[in-house]
Amino acid sequence: MSVRGRILPTMMLLDDATVESPVRAECSDEEVLTRSRTSPNAFQGIVERYEDAFLRKARHLLGDRPELQDIVQDTFVKIYLNAHTFTPQEGASFKSWGYKILVNTCFTFYKKRKRERILRADIPEEFLELVPEEDSKAREEKLDKDFLISAIVRLPDILQRVVRLHFLEGKSQREVARIEDISEGTNM
């Protein structure tokens, strides 16, 4: 089933005007995108140029699934809504910007599915490289620190200061005793 049948009618709703804005093949993507800001029908040119390629890329990243058409359509909507943020840069074209939005949309879809525990086992390597690795040790240290802080606030003031200095700031018992002006072996 072609994406074109689903995306173009939706994109046409973006413009209340009935006047067609022809987009010539010789117009660059950047020109078409700029024109679509004032004449939304011009965005049809972007959709026609990229929908098949975007669908192939989404299929490559996520496998063949029924949601691909929706993902590609969401990508075009994001491109249209964020057209004002696109600024041409040397070495970077509209095409690379559009593909980045597509990959981010696929990644968001993947993360949502992962949370729902609906995963595909054959995720391509290039997509897995986009997923940040979790640093479980850092996460555990943060949880330990959060737990310690929640326990410290229930202590008397002097004990709070001593425990903070030693466990959170890493001061030695000798340094804590000096800072608090108490003997090193003091029992509280």
What letter represents residue 107's amino acid? Answer: F
- What is the structure's pLDDT at 19? 41
Q: How many Cβ atoms are within 10 Å of 27's Cβ, its own excluded?
A: 15
In the block, tokens 């939005």 appear at 101
pLDDT per residue, tens digit, the chain (188 aa), is 444 455 544 444 444 443 444 556 678 888 888 888 888 888 888 899 899 999 999 999 888 888 999 999 999 999 888 888 888 777 778 888 898 999 999 988 888 877 766 554 566 677 666 666 666 566 666 666 777 677 777 778 878 888 888 877 888 888 988 888 888 776 55
- What is the structure's pLDDT at 59? 92
Query: Which residue, 116, 102, 28, is CA-closest to 69?
Result: 102
Range(s) of the chain covered by CATH 1.10.1740.10: 4-128
Number of residues in the chain = 188
- What is the structure's pLDDT at 14? 45
The CATH fold of domain 4-128: Rna Polymerase Sigma Factor; Chain: A (1.10.1740)
Whole-number Cα distances in Å, 152 to 43, 74, 85, 172: 58, 48, 47, 18
- What is the structure's pLDDT at 3? 47
